[in-house]
Amino acid sequence: MALTQNPEPKTQNPKENLRIFLTGVGGQGTLLASRLLGEAALAAGYNPMVSETHGMAQRGGIVVSTVILGDLQSPLISAGEADIVLGFEALEAFRALDRCHAKTLVIANTATQVPYPVAIGQARYPSVAQMFQRLAAQVGALLAFDAGALAHKSGSPLAVNMVLLGALAATDSLPIPAQDILSVICTRTKEKFLASNLQAFDLGAAAARDPGNWQRR
Amino acid sequence: MSELLTGSAGERRLFLGNEAIVRGALEAGVALVTTYPGTPASEIGDRCYGISRQTDLQFEFSTNEKVALEVAAGASACGWRVLCAMKHVGLNVAADALMTLAYVGVKGGMVIVSADDPSLFSSQNEQDNRYYAKLAGLPMLEPATPEEAKAMTLAAFALSEQLKVPVLLRTTTRVNHTRGPVTLGELAARPGPGRFYKDPFHLVMVPAVARQAHVRLLAAQDQARALAETSVFNEISGAGAWGIVTSGVAGTYAADALTELGLTGKVRLLKLGFTHPLPATLLGDFLAQVSKVLVVEELEPYLEDGLKAIAQDRGLSLTIRGKGPGLFSRLYEYHPGLVREVVARFFGVASEAPVPLVPEKILEQPLPDRPPNLCAGCPHRAMYYAVKIALKDLGVEGIFPTDIGCYTLGLLPPLSMADYLICMGSSVSTAAGISLATGQKVVAFIGDSTFFHSGLPALVNAVHHKHDFLLVILDNGTTAMTGHQPHPGVSLMPPGYPGEHVPIVRVVKALGVEQLWVVNPFKYKESLAATKEALTASGIRVLISQAPCHLYAQRLSGKRRTARFQVTKSCGECRDCLDNFGCPAMYLEKGDAGQLQIDQELCSGCAFCVQWCENIRPVGVAGKGKE
Ligand code: SF4
Ligand code: SF4
């Protein structure tokens, strides 16, 4: 029984539940990425739930968000239950392994942002190659590439989120057409960043089409 | 124009829970919104501020939650619909007003949003504010989703007017900060000026009047209970001989758990949205139909205790469980997997919980933490450094009562400038107690917004009682931690902010503080000298550290500073900057063995470090190269 008279969604939610976990460092645009995914899903007729971290964690801490599609009401993703992980930073992508299961698709930026304890020599940043090698052995598939470099190439170093969205859209693992994501990006982006954002999205999509970036179990 | 002012009835939008609350209030024709910013409620104020610049909605960032509630109460007494939003601990500050406002009652509908924070994402405790509804005797609605948050806000205004008491809308972080589809209704017009009609024998709470008012409050509670019995927000789904009773976001986890465990035909789910007063008949009838009940609620056993009392009344002896070993914890936020596991265990069905992967184990080495840190170029770090070095030079140990804001991050090494914290404003008063009991050198830190919130009475107290400590007011011109909201002493404000500026210096002087220093923390020599003077003096002393929040100043101007700094000589053994200062732009090449460097992307160009370290020079002045 609905609480309010909701009009029926235009289309039904997919039978398959899809849980997407986004993780990165404050300032990388994870929240915008999850919001755009949610908006695109809503436009496509789904009932997305998107949860966000705000507050203290945004001062250079870890920022995670989730996007949930399907016949689910919960806005959160428990350990081992993410179907897709978008890792905006190498270490954070690896840390999110606790959200993954054997079929999870992980899309990760190989670029690093050194945490402060590492910067001052109190902790060691693990080898990126080793992290991704071990991660790939545990999950369904790993798509890893330097999204930071592609963002730079697009002319907007802050567009890592657009690069990763482009890659995600190109994997065909979403029930939402890439076109819907693109049109949400267009309405949500300031004029002056639009060209670079769209280019970043395309560069991400191209990276996803490069078999050299994939490791599958 | 604010997104919350657009869209036609029936349209579906993706709104944050907090935005949904604002939309609900606008659809109810709210005329005034008051708040003091606090995570997870902050976006309510932020959105309303924006809307107040575009419409005739009245809005204010009040100096604290008690003030916010009282301003709202006054307007409600004149017939306006009002909304007052705060984080859970804010309601402690407003509790004095809340308890008796329940007696006074309201005229225009009044909704009080209490945003609780299970798991303490950005709070000092995880108290369960549902007990405030019970304590004050007020109706309470508890949304689980943004869609419900909007619907309940709208309904709460009508309920408040019907019962003539404020209604508590109790949310949790997971509701405030989840985006979900919200179905829009029509926006309502605001009513224009209200009018205060004198009625002192109902509105002035002296004992004789309050005795009668309490009778009215109890009657309103009975009426509220009757409304809860038939509320659309209390819904039963599923069928079977077992039951789950739940509320809030935990209800979404419970519903998913039943679907995923295939239990919808075996377990009835009663999801409560109207949770005070509890609908005793509805609940009693529910309990009478099932043989055992699991209560799924985050934090305290509020529903569980209520259900047990109702079962006792009805002479029912079924099993009712919620909190306890093997079941649910009173600690922290829940999540879907956890609820599924407990539901499966309680009803004795199998659950295939995935075996979680442990990243550290798979990598066979620990993962470095990523603690939040004050920004590069943050004025607080510069001030902390001066106090630290001044104490070192004087050879005395400082005790640091601190307060709530970005500067609380000074707790972390290498700054380590926080020793004691209870709540907003406690730095000033606890400093008095510590210095009284010990005679140690006490230096208290408080931010500008927190100072106006609740530092003022404590400072008057310290002046009056001749307490002996140094209070450092970290005046960065804004309320930075919660997203840069203005306050009476603001120097940085959103464009067009109409508030009157109340300079902290004048306030502090007017309170009778005679020993006062004002420094720019980025002028190191001056601030160090002033700090030493202030530290060596005795009695109550105030040092105001004035420099704008770097992050917000940059955002407002839209420009980045262009000066950059670099290390031009080998540092040898010196690690002063890392041991005492810790700017996030600084790093060691090749881990701990290497040379210190400054990351040009991260350096804010604040030019502070260069004033005390000869090895650091501006980029371009000493050339690119390093030794
Ligand atoms: S937001 Fe402002 S006050 Fe807070 S840490 Fe950054 S510069 Fe400092
Ligand atoms: S000038 Fe020095 S203290 Fe300021 S941001 Fe740059 S490195 Fe940090």
The CATH classification number of B3-230 equals 3.40.50.970
Distance B521 CA to ligand 1 centre (A): 14
- Name the residue of B522, B602, B608 to mutate for ligand 2: max ligand atoms within 8 A of Cβ: B608
Q: Please, are residues B22 and A37 in contact by the beta-carbon 8 Å criterion? A: no
Find which of A35, A66, A74 to mutate to test the B interface (most B CBs within 10 Å of its CB): A74
Chain B: nearest CA to A146, how far in angstroms?
18
- Region B222-243: what's the mean pLDDT? 97
Q: Which pTM does this prediction carry? A: 0.96
What integer pLDDT is reported at residue B354 of this predicted model?
Answer: 78
Query: B603 CB under 6 A from ligand 2?
Result: yes
Query: B598 CB under 6 A from ligand 2?
Result: yes
Least confident of A56-65, B132-141, B519-528, B602-611: A56-65
Chain B interface includes A25 (CB < 8 A) = yes
Q: Look at A55 and B482 and tell me if their CB atoms are within 8 Å.
A: yes
Indicate left, alpha or beta for A155 from its phi (over 0: left) and psi (-120 to 50: alpha). Answer: left
Distance B424 CA to ligand 1 centre (A): 18
Query: B550 CB under 6 A from ligand 1?
Result: yes
Question: pLDDT: is B539 or A1 the higher one?
Answer: B539
What integer pLDDT is reported at residue A55 of this predicted model?
Answer: 66
Chain B: nearest CA to A162, how far in angstroms?
20
pLDDT tens sequence across B479-499: 999 999 999 999 888 888 999
Distance B20 CA to ligand 1 centre (A): 29
Q: Which of A7, A61, A73 sits opposite B372 (nearest CB)?
A: A61
pLDDT tens sequence across B45-64: 999 999 999 999 999 999 99
Chain B interface includes A121 (CB < 8 A) = yes
Query: B508 CB under 6 A from ligand 2?
Result: no
Asked whether residue A13 carries a pLDDT value surpassing 90, the answer given is no
Q: Please, are residues B169 and B44 in contact by the beta-carbon 8 Å criterion? A: no
- Region B196-203: what's the mean pLDDT? 98
Find which of B6, B43, B178, B183 to mutate to test the A interface (most A CBs within 10 Å of its CB): B178
What integer pLDDT is reported at residue B496 of this predicted model?
Answer: 87
- Region A70-97: what's the mean pLDDT? 97
The CATH classification number of B235-347 equals 3.40.50.920
Q: Which of A61, A80, A100 sits opposite B371 (nearest CB)?
A: A61
Query: B567 CB under 6 A from ligand 2?
Result: no
Confidence of residue A56 (pLDDT cuts 50, 70, 90): low
Q: How many CB atoms lie within 10 A of CB B370?
A: 24
Same fold, B3-230 and B235-347: yes
Give domain A18-216's CATH architecture.
Answer: 3-Layer(aba) Sandwich (3.40)
Average pLDDT over all residues of chain B: 96
Q: Which of A72, A81, A96 sits opposite B354 (nearest CB)?
A: A81
CA–CA separation, B25 vs B85, rounded Å? 11
pLDDT tens sequence across B290-341: 999 999 999 999 999 999 999 999 999 999 999 999 999 999 999 999 999 9
Asked whether residue B234 carries a pLDDT value surpassing 70, the answer given is yes
Q: Look at B122 and A54 and tell me if their CB atoms are within 8 Å.
A: yes
CA–CA separation, B455 vs B442, rounded Å? 16
Structure tokens, B107: 């005229």
What integer pLDDT is reported at residue B335 of this predicted model?
Answer: 97
B605 Cα nearest atom in ligand 2: 1
CA–CA separation, B431 vs B450, rounded Å? 15
Ligand in nearest proximity to the CA of B563: 2
Asked whether residue B214 carries a pLDDT value surpassing 70, the answer given is yes
What integer pLDDT is reported at residue A110 of this predicted model?
Answer: 98
Q: What are the distances in angstroms from CA B412 to CA B39, B114, B415, B431, B579? A: 21, 30, 6, 20, 12
Ligand in nearest proximity to the CA of B584: 2
Asked whether residue B622 carries a pLDDT value surpassing 70, the answer given is no
Distance A92 CA to ligand 2 centre (A): 26
pLDDT tens sequence across B135-169: 999 999 999 999 999 999 999 999 999 999 999 99
What integer pLDDT is reported at residue A57 of this predicted model?
Answer: 62
Burial class (CB in 10 A: 0-12, 13-18, 19+), B223: middle
Asked whether residue A10 carries a pLDDT value surpassing 50, the answer given is no
Give me the half-sphere count of Cα atoms (radius 13 Å) on the Cβ side of residue B364: 3
CA Rg value for chain B: 27
Question: pLDDT: is B413 or B78 the higher one?
Answer: B78
Q: DSSP readout, B230-298?
A: T-TTSEEE--SSEEEEEETTHHHHHHHHHHHTT-TTTEEEEEESEEES--HHHHHHHHHH-SEEEEE-S
pLDDT tens sequence across B448-483: 999 999 999 999 999 999 999 999 999 999 999 999
Instruction: Find chain A residues with C-beta within 8 A of B375's C-beta.
Output: 59-60
Q: What are the distances in angstroms from CA A27 to CA A133, B168, B500? A: 27, 34, 32
Structure tokens, B358: 């442990």
Which residue owns the Cα nearest ligand 2 atom 4?
B606
- Region B2-29: what's the mean pLDDT? 97
Instruction: Find chain A residues with C-beta within 8 A of B353's C-beta.
Output: 80
Own/partner long-range contacts of A121-128 (Cβ < 8 Å, ≥24 apart): A121/B578, A121/B588, A121/B591, A121/B592, A121/B593, A121/B594, A122/B592, A123/B366, A123/B368, A123/B369, A124/B365, A124/B368, A124/B591, A125/A91, A125/B368, A126/A91, A126/A94, A126/B363, A126/B365, A126/B367, A128/A90
Instruction: Find chain B residues with C-beta within 8 A of A47's C-beta.
Output: 180-181
CA–CA separation, B414 vs B431, rounded Å? 22
Which residue owns the Cα nearest ligand 1 atom 4?
B406
- Domain ranges across chain B: 3-230, 235-347, 379-557, 564-619
Cα–Cα nearest to B474, from B388, B582, B548: B548
Ligand in nearest proximity to the CA of A60: 1
Cα–Cα nearest to A65, from A57, A78, A76, A73: A76
User: Can you name the residues that pair with B519 across neighbouring β-strands?
Assistant: B545
Asked whether residue A15 carries a pLDDT value surpassing 70, the answer given is no
| Chain position carrying tokens 């050339």 | B623
Confidence of residue A100 (pLDDT cuts 50, 70, 90): very high
Q: Which of B43, B356, B372 sits opposite A59 (nearest CB)?
A: B372
Q: How many CB atoms lie within 10 A of CB B292?
A: 15
Angle at B230 between CA B226 and CA B231, to 5 degrees: 105
pLDDT tens sequence across B174-193: 999 999 999 999 999 999 99
Ligand in nearest proximity to the CA of A59: 1
Average pLDDT over all residues of chain A: 91
Query: B374 CB under 6 A from ligand 1?
Result: yes
Burial class (CB in 10 A: 0-12, 13-18, 19+), A16: exposed
ipTM: 0.95
Query: B607 CB under 6 A from ligand 2?
Result: yes
Q: Please, are residues B184 and B12 in contact by the beta-carbon 8 Å criterion? A: yes
Q: Please, are residues B274 and B249 in contact by the beta-carbon 8 Å criterion? A: no
Alpha helices in B276-378 (DSSP H): 280-289, 302-313, 336-347, 359-363
Q: How many CB atoms lie within 10 A of CB B393?
A: 12
Confidence of residue B419 (pLDDT cuts 50, 70, 90): very high
Distance B489 CA to ligand 2 centre (A): 27
Asked whether residue B262 carries a pLDDT value surpassing 80, the answer given is yes
Q: Look at B591 and A118 and tell me if their CB atoms are within 8 Å.
A: yes
- Name the residue of B39, B42, B378, B404 to mutate for ligand 1: max ligand atoms within 8 A of Cβ: B378
As assigned by CATH, the class of the B379-557 domain is alpha beta
- Region A162-171: what's the mean pLDDT? 97
What integer pLDDT is reported at residue B626 of this predicted model?
Answer: 37
Least confident of A95-109, A171-185, B25-39: A171-185
Find which of A23, A53, A66, A76 to mutate to test the B interface (most B CBs within 10 Å of its CB): A76
Which residue owns the Cα nearest ligand 1 atom 5?
B374
Which residue owns the Cα nearest ligand 1 atom 8?
B378
Chain B: nearest CA to A100, how far in angstroms?
7
Structure tokens, B98: 């809340």
B409 Cα nearest atom in ligand 1: 5
Burial class (CB in 10 A: 0-12, 13-18, 19+), B208: exposed
